Structure 1
């Protein structure tokens, strides 16, 4: 995931919150801003859904210790560290969360934070629909000083974030700057401080304040978070994978799509059932018609075959299609002589001939009709009667021998 959302929470719910969305591939800021309190975190849910969420918490809420551990049995020694620090901690070790960083010259770095405080931060995020993958003290996002003897500091509102070395730092208010610098100076005459946009009016002497390239404070913190020294979200605070956030975003779409698919199949099932019912009704109607035409038949099996046999029988048996051929030829002749109107048509299966009674406007129309049929069949003209302006007559159409 090329985008990261860096959120810097406060110690209390009403503290302001800074955030920045950063694209690692393009090395540019997509968006940034601040919120008045944790209640407004839900405004960042859309950005959090498409980015890796990294959370910074006040370094003043995370204690730092270094403990000597033997090279042998290091794992057992680390497990005993909470009890080794018990006298230096202001709370019961069972209420504290211990995270272990790098080992520097046999000294194990240890970060300690109250479990309830971490749970409270996660609760704010959860209620806003945000899932964080990483959480660490804010001072660990300040770049390490370029020179080993120097320290670095970044200003965020009225707070100053000090980075003392690769593992250690401080988060203080401006009012504690003078006292803090005196403690950090120790026996030195002054400190060399590489600063990131620290206001000039607090550049206290005799220290040397070395300005660094000017970028947004949150941008500088985001750019330094590519390699994290620690993550507070381990052990009992391990979070689910980021894919869960994507699921939250697309869950409603997936549910809607699933509902549509189910509705589609239900509709198709209903339609198939309706077609089957219609088919059954048509079959029953066909059987009823067949029984009316064949009253002696009780059971109708293989209706299609029975009807085809009956049609063949009507056509002269043996599969002959003469009846249909005659009717087709007669239909063509009637289309050519529309004035001639048939009144009765009978087919003599034994003689294989078709008898026609018709009415026309003149004898010539009968002759024309007869001539058209004689192209394929033998046609015998019967008696003709003239009734005023109408002529009635009969014709016999036979297969030519």
Structure 2
């Protein structure tokens, strides 16, 4: 189908919403109009019930964030709010987060909006009968490197930033975020003098009568939908489900039996994985007291990467750790409580059952090429505790 409907929600202080019936194949507007904010959309739904509808909301109400998560899928989705917690100034409970597919260690686009705005938009769309394909902020409907400017609002989508703001603030935002070297195609409202607002553009702008027509003509919607999670659209008609009810019930029963069998087979493995995860958390908390643990494995990897990056290119820290680990295999009677590295030596605080365990470990470290100096050892409740210093043995 080459036709679609665009529905623009009102910006703050506006009392009307705009709609546009657009023909994609001919790239022209078939019809357009406005409705009062408190007016029902039922008539619009009856007229355009067969058309896919994009709901465009003011971008100044929606924040675009980009995050990288160590894990994808449901695990990454569960960790997403905690990754954004420090960047957001609002209570997480009052925010709605919408994102695309989360893949491990890849940048993920996230749209953040207050739930009160989502409630308002959803209430306006309730019982409209429209086939809403997606709800997106205006900048998420545009291709990259585009600036859409009228007398009141500016909408910007660059490769590394996107926003909507008052036109008079565009110059300051561009200097802070885009920089002098950035360029973009400018679409300006007809009869407006853009140079008075934004003098950085040297090329003449494209002009328009209605901003929604520009969005429809350039339409490149992001693969994200604000109508997701708690705000996912629900189908009002379930006639097909009713007709297929018994076949679906039989299929679900068979699948349930299959999943039950698989669950019984892997339950022991899951318990062991849980024990490993708990052990990693305990190790991380012992190593970094007071730190908040979200994903112990990825956080430990980040700490090691930071240590490796902070050291010089000829650092021996990680190779030394490998040699210490080889010397420690099977040494259950000895535990490292603290480790300090200054680039030339490693100082260790260790607990052991007795002096024999320390002697055995020192001998193993010597085989790995270390010169070991002992500090003071004292008696503890369940063994001994003391210090060791490791240096590279003289050749």
Q: TM-score, normalised by structure 2?
A: 0.52
C-alpha deviation, 1:122, in angstroms: 1.2
Question: Following the alignment from structure 2 to structure 1, what is the Cα–Cα distance between the partners of residues 113 and 154?
Answer: 20
The question of whether the paired residues in 2 share the 8 Å contact of 1:3 and 1:50 is answered with no
Equivalent residue, structure 1, for 2:109: 109
Q: Does residue 229 of the first structure (1) align with residue 220 of the second (2)? A: no
From the superposition, tell whether residues 243 and 174 of structure 1 become closer, same or farther in structure 2 (CA, over 3 Å). farther
Question: Following the alignment from structure 2 to structure 1, what is the Cα–Cα distance between the partners of residues 117 and 78?
Answer: 22
Question: Following the alignment from structure 2 to structure 1, what is the Cα–Cα distance between the partners of residues 24 and 234?
Answer: 23
Equivalent residue, structure 1, for 2:46: 46
Secondary structure at 1:184 match in 2: helix
1:45-67 per-residue CA deviation (whole Å, 9 max, x = no partner) reads: 33332321110011111112122
Q: Does residue 218 of the first structure (1) align with residue 212 of the second (2)? A: yes
- 1:137-176 map, 5 Å: 137-145=137-145, 152-156=146-150, 158-165=152-159, 168-176=161-169
The question of whether the paired residues in 2 share the 8 Å contact of 1:14 and 1:38 is answered with no
The Cα RMSD (Å) is 3.1
Secondary structure at 2:185 match in 1: strand
The question of whether the paired residues in 2 share the 8 Å contact of 1:13 and 1:39 is answered with no
The question of whether the paired residues in 1 share the 8 Å contact of 2:168 and 2:197 is answered with no
Equivalent residue, structure 2, for 1:28: 28
Q: Does residue 180 of the first structure (1) align with residue 179 of the second (2)? A: no
1:75-98 per-residue CA deviation (whole Å, 9 max, x = no partner) reads: 423321102222332332223211
Equivalent residue, structure 1, for 2:8: 8
Secondary structure at 1:87 match in 2: coil
Give the gaps of 5 or more residues in structure 2: 239-395
The question of whether the paired residues in 2 share the 8 Å contact of 1:142 and 1:221 is answered with yes
Question: Following the alignment from structure 2 to structure 1, what is the Cα–Cα distance between the partners of residues 28 and 199?
Answer: 35
Aligned pair count reads: 234
Secondary structure at 1:91 match in 2: coil
Q: Does residue 196 of the first structure (1) align with residue 187 of the second (2)? A: yes
Question: Following the alignment from structure 1 to structure 2, what is the Cα–Cα distance between the partners of residues 73 and 20?
Answer: 38
Q: Does residue 136 of the first structure (1) align with residue 127 of the second (2)? A: no
Q: TM-score, normalised by structure 1?
A: 0.51
Give the gaps of 5 or more residues in structure 1: 146-151, 245-401
Equivalent residue, structure 2, for 1:76: 75
C-alpha deviation, 1:154, in angstroms: 1.0
Equivalent residue, structure 2, for 1:240: 234
